[in-house]
Amino acid sequence: VPAPTQAIGRALLAGLEARPADGLALLPAATTLVDDTLWKESPESAWGDEWRAQASVARGDLLRRQGDEAGAKAAITPTFVDELNPVEWAWQWLHPPPLPNGRIDMAGNLDLGYIQGFYGGYGDGDTKTTWRWSGPQARLRFPQAGTGAPQTLRLHVDGRARPDDGSSTAFDVLLNERGVASVPLSRSDQVYEVALPATPAGADVLITLGAPPFVPGAADLLAQQGAQAGQLRLLGLLIDWAELTER
């Protein structure tokens, strides 16, 4: 196993063993990761910018295990993390703790590890909200959120962001890979509620969302920055947040 992979793997394993402080000690200090000059002078810089972003996300995961939400956000917020949008890496590598309020706040800096199949996020300064576009298929992970009783999935979606071609659109919801509902998508900014059958108490609740994709215009292509520059995107749903509640 390559040394860079071992370094992050050992740190994350310590977190899973309820030793987040030990895991943090195995990673570069926050100041080293955030400061460009200190990073370039560190031996780990030879492992590249992608490793730098992954290490910072790993720090954020360990800090949120300690209950340090502010520190976790600071670790995951830097531009060098956003530009790489390590959503897929975080889904595969992180085993995040249960959500304290049952809600995934898209692009709120602490959604990594809970989502898969989403593009980089952005903020709306007027409404003070943050959003992510899904791809044609996306997943949401609610760790240990099963209660043994029926639940409700709530999604804040802005349907106005999709092209108005006059056709009706619906998105599919699957629970643990089994179809639950096909939900008509309106051209409005609204909260959708989907009834879910029971998941065993303490089990993960895995939601899959599927939506007919569309290709945005040239302005979207030009707006991509960093490692995502020139990326042709297939967009599905524009989501602000997702949460599980009792029915």
pLDDT tens digit sequence for 160-177: 999 887 677 999 999 999
Q: Which residues pair with 213 in a beta bridge?
A: none
Instruction: Quote the Cα angle for 44-38-71, to 5°.
Output: 85
Distances (CA, A) of 145 to 196, 201, 203, 209, 247: 12, 7, 6, 18, 13
pLDDT digits (tens, 9 = 90+) for 192-207: 999 999 999 999 999 9
Tokens 């903020």: give the residue: 123
Identify the H or E element spanning 5. helix 3-16
Residue 228 scores a pLDDT above 70 = no
Q: Which two tokens stand for residue 56?
A: 């910072």
Ordered domains of the chain (ranges, CATH): 1-84 (no CATH), 97-247 (2.60.120.260)
Residue 193: alpha-carbon gap to chain centroid: 20
Whole-angstrom Cα distance, residue 18 to residue 12?
Answer: 10
Determine the pLDDT at residue 29.
95
* Average pLDDT over the chain, rounded to an integer: 93
Whole-angstrom Cα distance, residue 118 to residue 242?
Answer: 13
Q: pTM for the whole thing? A: 0.92
